A = this chain, B = another copy of it.
Amino acid sequence: MTLFTDLEDSPRGTRVALDELLDALPYNEQGLIAAVAQDAGSREVLMLAWMNRTAIETTLREGVACYYSRSRQTLWRKGESSGHVQKVLDLRFDCDGDAILLTVEQTGPACHTNRPACFYLQVQDQEVVVVTAPESG
């Protein structure tokens, strides 16, 4: 039994120490967990990125989303250069701990392309279509 299988059968209101849960997360071979950011207002799914343990702890401590950049191999405080920060209202783990859901207030566009969200490539029959444009200014 892992912590997560224990919690599956636990009633609502069951509590576990954050540190204990962070110890038990099934980090991948790069030490990362997938993290999904959802806009608190529009409920749009904005992006998927990655967090290591330090990024999770930093996000919780600072109240704004901090991811781990796989390309730059460093902590990535989202918006540190663009100003497009994500204020984190809620952070949850899923049933087996391999995903995180952030509920956020997004400042500016979430996507590095200046689109409101990253999921702009929509399948239509046998094609994929760019369905949103970058925001101007």
Are B99 and A121 in contact, CB atoms less than 8 angstroms apart?
A: no
Mark contacts of A6-19 with chain B using CB atoms, 8 A cut-off: 1 yes-contact digit, 0 otherwise. Answer: 01111111111111
Residues of A within 8 A of B (CB): 7-19, 21, 34, 36, 38, 43, 45, 47-48, 60, 90-99, 101, 111-113, 115, 118-123, 125-133
Please tell me how many copies of the chain the complex holds: 2
Residue of B nearest to A127 (CB): B15
CB distance from A108 to the nearest CB of B (A): 15
Are A111 and B95 in contact, CB atoms less than 8 angstroms apart?
A: yes
Are A118 and B95 in contact, CB atoms less than 8 angstroms apart?
A: yes
Other-chain residue from B7, B9, B48, B129 in contact with A99 (beta carbon distance below 8 A) = B48
